[in-house]
Amino acid sequence: MLSYFLSEEEKILVDLIDRIGRDYIAPFALRWDEEEIYDPRPIEALAKADLFGLIIPEEYGGLGWGSFRLCLAMEHLSRYCPGVATTYAASFLGAYPILLFGSKAQKERYLPEVARGRKLCAFALTEPQAGSDAAAIQTRAERDGDYYVLNGIKQWITNGGIADIYIVIALTDPRKGTRGASAFIVEKGDPGFAVGRKEKKMGLRASVTTELFFTNCRIPRERLLGKEGFGYIVALRTLDYARVGVGAQAVGLAQGAMELALRHARHRVQFGQPVYHFQAVSHTFAEMAARIEAARSLVYQTARNIDAGIREISGPSAMAKAFATDVAMWVTERAVQMMGGYGYMRDYGAEKLMRDAKCLQIYEGTNEIQRNVIARELLKHYRD
């Protein structure tokens, strides 16, 4: 397979993630999925290892690394349980708006706690009538002296209830459409803020997804991120940075599924030989490996572009997310097929990964939306 010339620090990071995966996730992942349990122990282990500080600058208590190393962590964590990786990733999704748009005071207040893993974050954009059409949000935020008063509902919010810090996109001026949306920091325990029911999901069951309710929720005006009217920009820029992490999650999930099926194929004997030695099977694994490597290369290069400070990342980030998650879906379906009846049974893990993979094609913008983004970006670079 390809070499990506990881530094010694990066190799240590991968080894550390693998150790946490083996000790805190692998023995329990199937039970968490079966019983739909969020277990804080792997998150606590990641926090103790300072791995919530990967992208947080050193001045705010983080490691000050970047997108590439976060992708490494996401990839290797997802090999063990994509649900746990989703909890981890969603906290960064909620931290990015503060990192990218927060004032110095906001960064000093929130980022050190995030970097230490003491407080998890969540990002609240989606609403019952506003999914792919993010501009259709209806949650309102009205100015009342030194406060904003929020009213509305957010839906399908990862880390709902377990997060301490929520980035909420709400309308401050509905007449202006997307230019009338603003971003706010809401804290767990704010009056008028309540968490709804935990959703029952097809996959990623080790993570928590809930509704959020805002009923005359009063928050101080210093919790406004950036300026009024910047909310849509905050959301889009945050997703540009975060989507490559979903791509990394997909690569790790696909790698884990391939390895699981490969172990089975090497030891499962039919017609007098391991099934791996039948050409139809071995060629399927060859195709898995090639597609995973292509996805990994795209994800890694996109992350390195982000770390290099390249501003035009919308297209590459959308490509990394869409391509890698489609690969993950294909690989997991093939892994189930290569394991036959064993793949279909809940005791062996392959069908879990297939269910987990489906959501990666949906959240943080469906892959159909990613293709809209890619097509739009193409027009910026290719003109007659």
Which residues are designated catalytic? 364
Contact 305, 68 (CB under 8 A): no
Residue 317 has phi, psi (to 5 degrees) of -65, -40
Residues 6+ apart with CB under 8 A from 242: 89, 92, 93, 96, 364
The DSSP secondary structure of 287-354, one letter per residue, reads HHHHHHHHHHHHHHHHHHHHHTT-S--HHHHHHHHHHHHHHHHHHHHHHHHHHTHHHHSTTSSHHHHH
Please choose, from the candidates 239, 234, 256, the residue with its C-alpha nearest in 3D space to the C-alpha of residue 84. Answer: 256
- 189 Cβ neighbours under 8 A, 6+ residues apart: none
- Residue 362: closest CA among 86, 37, 34: 86
Q: Which amino acid is at 127?
A: E
* CA-CA-CA-CA dihedral for 10, 14, 16, 20, to nearest 10: 150
